[in-house]
């Protein structure tokens, strides 16, 4: 095969070669999962972010999946390990079986403590559980359990239960331990929680990886991919903007969100009809409301969106506000692309943006030289 030639036996990534080349040579991790680069002189294929020294452009072939690179005769790089997590980021960070089992156990008995010794006795490394939950949920497993108990206790207080019931029915050994944990997490003494709303947090499994959802009693206020770099900042912003504490808890609205997302990913839904709450500056809200008007299956450039909301020339500011959207998919910031037909940016990862556009049938708007 001649340099820069791609075998007809394998489908190249839908991105153009020039864009893939820039990403690979620049070690751009945001492209991980969108394509794989194989070096003909070494017989090795890598993720775009591979820290290894890069080859000359004429010695690189590109593939849409790790599977295709393997079938082409290339072996996986030992440094970036492109096969880890299934090799294709469609399933990146999917929860292993023991994680799902732990979450199910906590949800079945949210008031029960699960000490590290119990995990170890069942063959689960407590350190591995800590790392996985911290990386994907933003808190350790023990913090998740504790927050889940707090959320149940908070709901009990709001429903009129006495303090003794909230304490002892939800796994706390004393009033002082409960009061300290509650005040630290919620910012209120337990007695002040009666009649106070809070943001219920839940973790959802989707075909594009786990997401964190948040809802008040009346609206969805958060939907983010759990591995987003700004996740912790987004959580703080939501709590600050709404003036409400955040705790893991059940929510009928989140249950309905799960159902509607499942329909969307199955190709059976093009419009969401859930109440949403997206506090922000006046300009941010104008941008987000503009996003809500972009129909399923269509895209806009940042400049086009700026013009549509009456802010000609403010495409950079529109891009910034677009990136601050805290309700992914429902407020479709993925439908805004670069003026030259490139993907532009996306807080949840460019590979997810491409998958969402492909799912909606609008990936054809992308420039693929």
Instruction: Please enumerate in sequence order all residues whose Cβ is within 8 A of that of 130, keeping only pairs 6 or more positions apart, or say none.
Output: 140, 141, 142
Question: Using an 8 Å Cβ cutoff, are 252 and 309 in contact?
Answer: no
Q: Is 333 a catalytic residue?
A: yes
Integer Cα distance of 366 and 90 in angstroms: 19
3-state class (DSSP) for residue 282: helix
Other Cβ atoms closer than 10 A to 1: 9
In DSSP terms, which residues pair with 213 in a beta bridge?
202, 223
Annotated active-site residue 145? The verdict is: no
Structure tokens at 188: 């209120």
Which is catalytic among the residues 46, 50, 145, 221? 46
Catalytic residue among 50, 77, 145, 333: 333
Residue 267 and residue 113: Cα distance in Å, rounded?
40
According to DSSP, the β-strands at 220-225 and 211-215 are antiparallel
What residues does 246 pair with on adjacent strands? 199
Q: What CA–CA distance (Å, rounded) separates 139 from 165?
A: 27
Q: For tokens 């993925």, what's the residue?
A: 334
Of the candidates 257, 236, 249, 332, the residue with the CA atom closest to the CA atom of residue 290: 332
Q: Which residues are catalytic?
A: 46, 333
């Amino acid at each position: 095969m001649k340099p820069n030639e791609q075998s007809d036996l394998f489908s190249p990534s839908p991105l153009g070669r020039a864009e893939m080349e820039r990403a690979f040579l620049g070690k751009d991790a945001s492209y991980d999962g969108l394509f794989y680069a194989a070096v003909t002189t070494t017989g090795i294929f890598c993720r775009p972010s591979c820290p290894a020294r890069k080859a000359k452009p004429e010695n690189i072939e590109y593939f849409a999946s790790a599977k295709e690179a393997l079938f082409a005769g290339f072996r996986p790089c030992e440094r970036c390990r492109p096969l880890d997590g299934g090799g294709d980021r469609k399933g990146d960070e999917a929860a292993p079986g023991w994680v799902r089992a732990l979450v199910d156990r906590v949800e079945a008995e949210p008031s029960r403590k699960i000490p590290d010794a119990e995990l170890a006795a069942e063959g689960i490394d407590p350190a591995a559980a800590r790392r996985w939950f911290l990386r994907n949920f933003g808190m350790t497993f023990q913090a998740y359990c504790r927050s889940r108990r707090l959320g149940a206790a908070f709901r009990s207080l709001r429903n009129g239960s006495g303090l003794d019931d909230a304490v002892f029915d939800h796994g706390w050994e004393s009033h002082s331990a409960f009061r300290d944990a509650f005040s630290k997490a919620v910012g209120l003494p337990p007695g002040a929680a009666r009649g106070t709303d809070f943001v219920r947090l839940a973790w959802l499994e989707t075909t594009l990886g786990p997401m964190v959802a948040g809802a008040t009693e009346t609206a969805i206020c958060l939907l983010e991919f759990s591995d987003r770099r700004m996740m912790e900042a987004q959580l703080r912003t939501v709590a600050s903007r709404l003036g409400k504490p955040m705790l893991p808890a059940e929510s009928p609205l989140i249950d309905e969100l799960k159902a509607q997302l499942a329909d969307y990913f199955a190709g059976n839904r093009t419009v969401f009809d859930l109440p949403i709450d997206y506090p922000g500056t006046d300009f941010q809200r104008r941008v987000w409301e503009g996003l809500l008007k972009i129909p399923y299956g269509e895209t806009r450039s940042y400049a086009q969106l700026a013009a549509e909301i009456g802010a000609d020339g403010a495409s950079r500011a529109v891009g910034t506000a677009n990136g601050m959207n805290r309700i992914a998919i429902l407020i479709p910031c993925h439908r805004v692309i670069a003026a030259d037909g490139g993907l532009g940016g996306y807080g949840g990862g460019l590979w997810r943006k491409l998958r969402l556009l492909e799912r909606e049938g609008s990936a054809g708007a992308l420039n693929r030289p």
